[in-house]
């Protein structure tokens, strides 16, 4: 069994693409961004914390997935905006430039608590939008629950190009996850 320690509907939808049975569980871990820590260290620390603090059933067996996503722009690690004004300012600053999206993954054995952690990185280039188009986009995509204030799956007018994994930009790098799950399961079988 695979346990997804995330309430994100986007991660749930992505994980369904792997065509594996999974169960969504809560994690009591609160993600944080530490200044002075690299984007990869931030997302890995948060992903591990989410997996370790997952609310597993007492008889759980299988793999727990913890994940965390941030944006890295102008030497700053950026998580979810806290206000609509912050999201608007951030999206304006990102226009016509590129930034990096990092997602940390943690795969943890539900019984032994042994884990493996890694990250994936994608480069995203934004177009420039008129203020009216940006406002329509903000109204459509609920920016406060997304790293960087945008959703790649709804950002077609905003995103000019993605180098790397598109699913990583959405919040769960499926290509990497598929490989890492297979390797983790082989290691558990020994």
Task: Name the catalytic one among 68, 109, 131, 145.
Answer: 68
Cβ atoms within 10 Å of 171's Cβ, excluding its own: 24
User: Is 139 within 8 Å of 126 (Cβ atoms)?
Assistant: no
Please state the domain extents for the chain.
Answer: 2-189
Over 60: is that where the pLDDT of 189 sits?
no
pLDDT per position as a tens digit, 87-102: 999 999 999 999 999 9
3-state class (DSSP) for residue 39: helix
Residue 138 — very low, low, confident or very high, per pLDDT cuts 50/70/90?
Answer: confident
Instruction: Return the CATH class of domain 2-189.
Output: alpha beta
Q: Cα separation of 156 and 177, whole Å?
A: 24
Do β-strands 115-126 and 98-109 pair in parallel, antiparallel, or remain unpaired? antiparallel
pLDDT per position as a tens digit, 32-63: 999 999 999 999 999 999 999 999 988 889 99
- Buried residues in 22-31 as b, exposed as e (16+ CB within 10 A): beebebebeb
131 labelled catalytic: no
The whole-number average pLDDT for the span 93-115 is: 96
Over 70: is that where the pLDDT of 154 sits?
no
Q: Give me the DSSP letters along 86-136.
A: HHHHHHHHHTTSEEEEEEEEEEEETTT--EEEEEEEEEEEEPP--HHHHHH
Residue 72 — very low, low, confident or very high, per pLDDT cuts 50/70/90?
Answer: very high
For position 155, what pLDDT does the model report? 56
Matching residue, tokens 């912050």:
86
């Amino acid at each position: 069994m695979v346990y997804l320690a995330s309430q994100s509907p986007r991660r749930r939808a992505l994980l369904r693409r792997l065509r594996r049975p999974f169960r969504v569980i809560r994690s009591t871990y609160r993600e944080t961004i530490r200044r002075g820590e690299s984007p990869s260290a931030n997302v890995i620390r948060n992903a591990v914390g989410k997996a370790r603090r997952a609310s597993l059933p007492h008889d759980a067996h299988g793999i727990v997935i913890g994940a965390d996503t941030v944006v890295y722009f102008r030497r700053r690690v950026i998580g979810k905006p806290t206000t609509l004004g912050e999201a608007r300012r951030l999206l304006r600053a990102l226009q016509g430039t590129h930034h990096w999206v990092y997602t940390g993954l943690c795969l943890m054995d539900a019984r032994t608590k042994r884990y493996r952690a890694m990250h994936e990185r994608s480069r995203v280039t934004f177009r420039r939008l008129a203020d009216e188009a940006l406002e329509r986009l903000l109204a459509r995509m609920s920016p406060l629950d997304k790293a960087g204030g945008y959703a790649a799956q709804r950002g077609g007018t905003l995103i000019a190009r993605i180098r790397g994994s598109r699913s990583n930009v959405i919040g769960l790098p499926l290509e990497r996850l598929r490989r890492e799950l297979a390797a983790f399961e082989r290691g558990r079988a020994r």
